[in-house]
Amino acid sequence: QQQVKQSPQSLIVQKGGISIINCAYENTAFDYFPWYQQFPGKGPALLIAIRPDVSEKKEGRFTISFNKSAKQFSLHIMDSQPGDSATYFCAAGYRDDKIIFGKGTRLHILP
Amino acid sequence: KAGVTQTPRYLIKTRGQQVTLSCSPISGHRSVSWYQQTPGQGLQFLFEYFSETQRNKGNFPGRFSGRQFSNSRSEMNVSTLELGDSALYLCASSLTQGIEQYFGPGTRLTVT
């Protein structure tokens, strides 16, 4: 019930394409869904987050889509660039409590 | 504003030894969480401290412990190190518990 399942494990996208990473959760009590971006040798950095009362949130080229009934959410990176090559983690948690991370997706954007 | 800092950045220890890692949160942040990151298991939650009190704990053995000081700085300790403890240990701080966590660069621990 506490798991967050993330797919795919790795993803290769052409420059300019759309990168899509999916996550699924089981615990309907989760009320906070962040995405983190991690470059080699660095700690994860908060990219964008969404609450379950919103179906979509967009920040620049990054969009989170949230499907409450399916208990799924996804990250879309539009016009993907080589600088977006990193590991992406989805997570889910409760307000004022710990968050559970997915296992990560290694994204590589081909130049 | 300075980010989360962790010291040391790299550490090599021998099986059976103990280690202490340090984390200084962003100024004003009162919550500090610790995570273990390995290639196979991803990011696993160790524990969280808020105002010097441990508020949440993950599923790690008692060899892993931590504490938080009145200035919100935190330390984690691992006793009787095992080879499987080799990992990147990440600290994250937030204003209040859990949400909007900001991570430090991590401490890379290698146990030989």
A37-70, pLDDT tens digit by residue?
A: 999 989 999 999 998 889 999 999 999 999 999 9
B33: pLDDT strictly greater than 80: yes
Q: Cα(first)–Cα(last) distance of chain A, in Å?
A: 39
Whether the Cβ atoms of residue B81 and residue B14 lie closer than 8 Å to each other = yes
A76: pLDDT strictly greater than 80: yes
Whether the Cβ atoms of residue B41 and residue A89 lie closer than 8 Å to each other = no
Could you say which residues from 80 to 109 on chain B have a Cβ atom under 8 Å away from some Cβ of chain A?
90, 92, 96-106
- Both tokens of B37, joined, read 């990151």
pLDDT at A2: 72
Residue B34 near chain A (CB below 8 Å): no
- Express each pLDDT in A4-37 by its tens digit: 999 999 999 999 999 999 999 999 889 899 999 9
B72: pLDDT strictly greater than 90: yes
Hey, what's the torsion of the CAs at A78, A81, A82, A83, to 10 degrees?
-90
Could you say which residues from 50 to 69 on chain B have a Cβ atom under 8 Å away from some Cβ of chain A?
56, 58
pLDDT at B96: 77
Quote the Cα angle for A105-B90-A81, to 5°: 35
**A24 pairs with which residues across the strands?**
A5, A72
B66 interaction partners in chain A (CB closer than 8 Å): none
B1: pLDDT strictly greater than 80: no
- pLDDT bracket for residue A1 (50, 70, 90): low
pLDDT at B54: 93
Residue A48 near chain B (CB below 8 Å): no
* Amino acid at residue number B36: Q
pLDDT at A94: 80
Q: How far apart, in whole angstroms, are the C-alpha atoms of residue B14 and residue B44?
A: 23
- Between A58-67, B38-47, B65-74, B77-86, the lowest mean confidence (pLDDT) is in B38-47
Contact A43 B92 (CB under 8 A): yes
Q: How far apart, in whole angstroms, are the C-alpha atoms of residue A11 and residue A17?
A: 12
B98: pLDDT strictly greater than 70: no
How many A×B Cβ pairs under 8 Å? 59
**In terms of CA atoms, which chain A residue is nearest residue B41?**
A103
